[in-house]
Structure 1
Amino acid sequence: MQIQPVRFERSPQLHAMMTEQAYPVGARVVVQGKRGPEVATVRGEAEEMPATGRYGMILQEATQEDLERWAELGREAEDLKWLLRARARARNLPVKIVAAEYTLDASLLTVSYSAEERIELSALIQDLRSHTRARVNFAAVGPREQAMMLGALGACGKENCSSHHLQEFAPVSIRMARDQQLPLNPEKLSGPCGRLLCCLQYEHTQYIELLQHIPRKNAKVCVEGSGACGKVVKLHPLQGTVDVYTDQGLLTEVPAADLRAQKDAPQENRPRRNG
């Protein structure tokens, strides 16, 4: 028995599935996962199965009939999604219907939704009873999961990371933006989901390393050679320089290697240390 990674349509996340035979990358396969049988795409080579772990199963390569059935169920689920949106709007329910997906055997309909507060969904479930015989499961999703499922363009002009390649949502904090000397503008720092950009985490480790070798903002420093002293007002970690506003009222960019702390500088204004 081997494992092989597959990807479902609404997520870039890879899921390891057990398989008795290796399938070519790009092959459409029928898999047995947590929800039931679904169609997925093989996204990696087969590997030896680890001794521990819980995995779904690749049942077979999808036939033309499977693919046609999957496409038809997708259209039916899309119609039900818009039906639910209309019914929720008519009832003034504060809920957003994000997506609806059938399993390949049409036994389960999963409806993904978002709401800022707890809401009663029984009325929407009843609305579905006359349109499907499938068991209905409503699954709440967060803003980042919405962006992953719906897709969008990021500020870079490319598909947003959450729907393109991210395998997990790592914590992102405003401190990352501060460390990268970015302007704290919510519109510039937020992704399509309205949360902080996932890409802020990509280079954060490198910035932390660079910041260890330059003074902190507002530190009192003196310039070697010239003897001019002043306060650090801006950092340029990538260049290894800082802007110093001197006691004489001049603003100058100085390499961090040419600076020393003023003897009377307070402890908290000394260069950044790790931890």
Structure 2
Amino acid sequence: MIYGISFENLGQIHPFNYDEKLTIDQKIVAESDFGVEIGSVISILSETVEPKKAIIRIASPEDLKIEEQNVKDAKSAFEISKSKVKEHSLAMRMLSAKYTLDRSKLIFFFSADGRIDFRALVKDLAGIFKTRIELRQIGVRDAAKIVGGIGMCGMETCCSRFERDFKSITLKYAKTQQLLINPSKISGVCGRLLCCLAYENDSYLEILKDIPDTGDLARYNGKEYFVSEVNIFSKTLKMRSNDSPELKMTFEEFLNGKGERVCDSKLPEETDFPELDS
């Protein structure tokens, strides 16, 4: 069977193959991108999914005991690494550390604005911990997921509470939802666009289906009008023409009157927004 395995709390789910039946949240031992680690069964996947690798075994009590000690030692290693970063005067922020199950590798995660020459730091850490050292630089969104925080909604950030994968968020999401394009209002603690902009975007697109945008030319009851305002919250739009007063109507009234968009006034470059980097 194919199982969805995660090696981190709210980490990405990877497909692994195993012949025996497993249960959700059961601990297993498998090889991740970093080495042999203990993971959790998150889901049972379709047989059509191509497995990444095979699960080595079900985690034994001894494996779990080793993992518990590894977690404690990794916390101590993390504190030491932070002091070493200061000693080497490196412009980097250490975020977390973890051992592989067999302790053949100690991985440190950090964030930095640019490239960092940490060769001397790695040599120093290897001398202390007597194992292979790997330093992995991660982006601001992944850093926020590790550190956590409180969002502008007053709740814990989505990425550290339940989100496993970062979706691609663009300014077009905010424009569709008619939000004020103010970076302080639509950005999360990571400085990137809010992940929650994607949660209701499909609903907004469904509401706006066949509704012209502000600035478009529309036809209603056989006559052409300029769309001066679209309000998605009240589900109303305003249209005007040179020889008639402004019309205000609901989306339903517009569609029932066989209203339609004649042409889009926006230039291509106005509707293309670069996707956010993670």
| TM-score, L = length of structure 2 | 0.77
Shift of 1:258: 4.7
Per-residue Cα deviation, 1:175-232 (whole angstroms, up to 9, x for no partner): 11011001112122112221111221233233233334333224578998xxxx9862
Contact 2:214 2:228 in 1 (8 A): yes
The AA in structure 1 aligned to 2:55 is M
Shift of 1:58: 4.0
Is structure 2 residue 218 aligned with structure 1 residue 232? Answer: no
Is structure 2 residue 183 aligned with structure 1 residue 186? Answer: yes
Q: Percent identity?
A: 26
Match of 2:276 in 1: none
Change (3 A) 1:25 1:37: same
Match of 1:241 in 2: 236
The AA in structure 1 aligned to 2:144 is A
Output the CA distance in 1 between the equivalents of 2:30 and 2:149. 27
Match of 1:67 in 2: 64
- Which ranges of structure 1 fall in alignment gaps of 5 or more residues? none
SS in 1 for 2:173: helix
Output the CA distance in 2 between the equivalents of 1:251 and 1:98. 57
SS in 2 for 1:130: helix
SS in 1 for 2:80: helix
Match of 1:20 in 2: 19
How many residues align? The count is 258
Structure-to-structure mapping, 1:61-100, within 5 angstroms: 61-63=59-61, 65-100=62-97
The AA in structure 2 aligned to 1:61 is A
Change (3 A) 1:51 1:221: closer
Output the CA distance in 2 between the equivalents of 1:140 and 1:180. 34
Structure-to-structure mapping, 1:1-275, within 5 angstroms: 2-45=1-44, 49-50=47-48, 52-63=50-61, 65-218=62-215, 232-233=228-229, 235-242=230-237, 254-258=249-253, 267-269=263-265
Shift of 1:173: 0.7
Output the CA distance in 2 between the equivalents of 1:54 and 1:259. 51
Output the CA distance in 2 between the equivalents of 1:50 and 1:231. 48
Instruction: Compare 144-153 and 67-76 and name the one that shifted more.
Output: 144-153
Per-residue Cα deviation, 1:158-185 (whole angstroms, up to 9, x for no partner): 4433334434322211111011001112
Output the CA distance in 2 between the equivalents of 1:168 and 1:194. 17
Q: CA RMSD in A?
A: 3.5
Contact 1:222 1:259 in 2 (8 A): no
- Which ranges of structure 2 fall in alignment gaps of 5 or more residues? 256-260, 267-271, 273-278
Contact 1:37 1:103 in 2 (8 A): yes
Change (3 A) 1:22 1:155: farther
Shift of 1:23: 2.1
Change (3 A) 1:5 1:267: closer
Output the CA distance in 1 between the equivalents of 2:144 and 2:113. 16
